[in-house]
Amino acid sequence: MRLVQKYGGTSMNGPERIRKTADIIEASWREGVETAVVVSAMSGETNRLHKLAHDLCEQPFPRELDALLATGEQASAALLCIELRRRGVAAYSYTGMQAGLRTDGSHFRARIRDLESERLGLHLVQGEVPVLTGFQGVDESGNITTLGRGGSDTSAVALAIALKADVCDIYTDVDGIYTTDPRIAPGARKIDSISYEEMLEFASLGAKVLQTRCVELAMRYTMPIHLRSSFDNVPGTMVTVEDTSMERADITGVAYNRDEAKITLVGIPDQPGIASSVFGPVAAAGINVDVIVQNVSEDGLTDITFTVPRSDYTAAMHIVHEISQQVRARKIGGDDNIAKVSIIGVGMRTHAGVAKHMFEVLSKEGINIQMITTSEIKISVVIEEKYVELAVRALHQAFGLDVDSERGEEQSARNNTLQ
């Protein structure tokens, strides 16, 4: 058995937390499991370093800010090894540079190219514990780079792949992925197992537990991720290939995203090139467009509606007004008082009527649907923001996801068996 365990900032936060983290690693190691570790900086440390840099300068030079930030993980890796050594565990810290974790040269958002696994693998074979700094690497010219948001998780998956580990355990302060936000739907349940594709939909919809890039990397190499809590020693959520042996429920969960605003161009000519005239300038301004809906044409005219992050709403409206003459729009409308609610599940591929069921549920609650988009494993609707909680709760119950629903109890029983 060979594991990579990744610990986030809260697991490194002071001697007491470091000891608890070392407890888990030591237990794994004493069971004879080959255990490699990836760590983040202590929580707050990255902010502290950012502040030191920004006390000097508004826009610190990227190469040097990366060199500064990289010290955070180097310190926590060394501290964890000091604690492991105290217990007689032969631990060795590695910076991204020492481990030969090579990236491209994009500071703050470098992408991993390669990871020399030989030296770290040798430690495992010798019964030792290598501890790699997450979040950082080194580019072709030997400059220190950082991987950006979710970088440490991505480092962990990359290490797991390089070491051919059986699974990549990602320890965090939540105990797994839930069928929906428990703050909204008290009946929300922890999901035992979720496919990469479903996880990607969850991640991109604001369930910010695992970053998209980390899941994508795991999916490409079929590396199972076990997302679990560092506070409780219970199984969390396994992110893995689709489990075809189980009778799958229609949907796995309900996600929502309040960070949306919509813009509509009314009555523009339905002709080639119009879409790119609209979205070219928006993309050039660095604004991510999420949902795009174009209705069928009437009298040679059509409407295009799209959504953007709420913080980009004003900028996007400004751009759209600038191009409105060029695309001959009759009218421009906008609304930043919306939200997106989605149901997700690989099961819906084979179960007909999921969409119809979803729309009925919302209609019964008196919720008007403004936009609809679908993928193979997801249906999203845009609705007025004030209905978000109502919509999430109604859908969660209607699709049998609540803990107290019949199917929910069945699943709970299965949970216990797996444990």
**15 counts as binding a second copy under rule CB under 8 A:** yes
Query: C-beta of 361: minimal distance to a second copy in Å?
Result: 53
Enumerate residues 78-97 that contact a second copy by CB under 8 A.
78-79, 81-83, 85-86, 91-93, 95, 97
User: Stretches 32-40, 74-82, 307-315, 395-403: which one binds a second copy (CB under 8 A)?
Assistant: 74-82
Element (H, E) at 75: helix 62-86
Question: What does 79-140 look like in DSSP terms, one character per residue?
Answer: HHHHHHHHTT--EEEE-HHHHTEEE-S-TTS--EEEE--HHHHHHHHTT-EEEEESSEEE-T
Helices (H) and strands (E) in the chain, counts: 13, 18
Least distance to a second copy from the beta carbon of 129, Å? 12
Type and span of the H or E element at 332: strand 331-344
Angle (CA) 244 247 248, round 5°: 80
Q: To which residue do tokens 């609209």 refer?
A: 278
Out of 13, 33, 50, 67, point to the residue binding a second copy (CB under 8 A): 67
Question: What minimum distance in Å lies between the beta carbon of 66 and a second copy?
Answer: 8
Q: Give how many residues touch a second copy by CB under 8 A.
A: 37
Distance of closest approach, residue 28 Cβ to a second copy, in angstroms: 19
State yes or no: residue 109 binds a second copy (CB under 8 A): no
Question: Which candidate, 193, 190, 216, places its Cα nearest to that of 203?
Answer: 216
User: For residues 300 and 269, is the Cβ–Cβ distance under 8 A?
Assistant: yes
Among 2, 19, 109, 149, binds a second copy (CB under 8 A): 19
Q: Which is nearer to a second copy, 55 or 247 (CB)?
A: 55
Select 77 or 251, whichever has its Cβ closest to a second copy. Answer: 77
Q: What DSSP character marks residue 178?
A: B
Q: What are phi and psi of 314, to 5 degrees?
A: -60, -45
Any contact of residue 75 with a second copy (CB under 8 A)? yes
Indicate which single residue of 52, 122, 246, 283 sits in contact with a second copy (rule: CB under 8 A).
Answer: 52
User: In terms of Cα–Cα distance, which of 30, 36, 38 is closest to 129?
Assistant: 36
- Asked if 63 interacts with a second copy (CB under 8 A), we say yes
Burial of 352 (0-12, 13-18, 19+ CB in 10 A): exposed
Contacts to a second copy by CB under 8 A: 14-15, 18-19, 49, 52-53, 55-57, 60-61, 63-65, 67-68, 70-71, 74-75, 77-79, 81-83, 85-86, 91-93, 95, 97-98, 142, 144
